[in-house]
Amino acid sequence: MSEWLTDLRTSTPQEGFELALTLAKKGATYTQKDKEVRDELREDYTENADSLTLASQVAAIHFQTIAAANNYWK
């Protein structure tokens, strides 16, 4: 595993949110390393409201962490 996340600090909240989405995507990739399995599972969760809500929750939790690391961009 190569080091790609070197800092949680971002210049703007928008950049912070985009980093949060990247963290959520990376988390799914690290959890299920097989791309074919991820692609098969995507069909199930893209039309499931509960799955989409949980995916949004994961991104929101990451965003909270990033916002705190950035002193809420004050």
Mean pLDDT of the chain: 94
Return d(Cα 50, Cα 46) in angstroms, integer.
Answer: 10
% of the chain beyond a pLDDT of 70? 99
Q: What is the pLDDT of residues 33-62, one digit of tens each?
A: 999 999 999 888 888 999 999 999 999 999
Token representation of residue 68: 């705190």
The confidence score (pLDDT) of residue 1 equals 66
Q: What is the pTM of this model?
A: 0.86
11: pLDDT confidence band, cut at 50, 70 and 90? very high
* 6 token code pair: 């070197």
Task: Give Cβ neighbours of residue 6 (< 8 Å, ≥ 6 apart).
Answer: none
* pLDDT tens figures, 15-38: 999 999 999 999 999 999 999 999
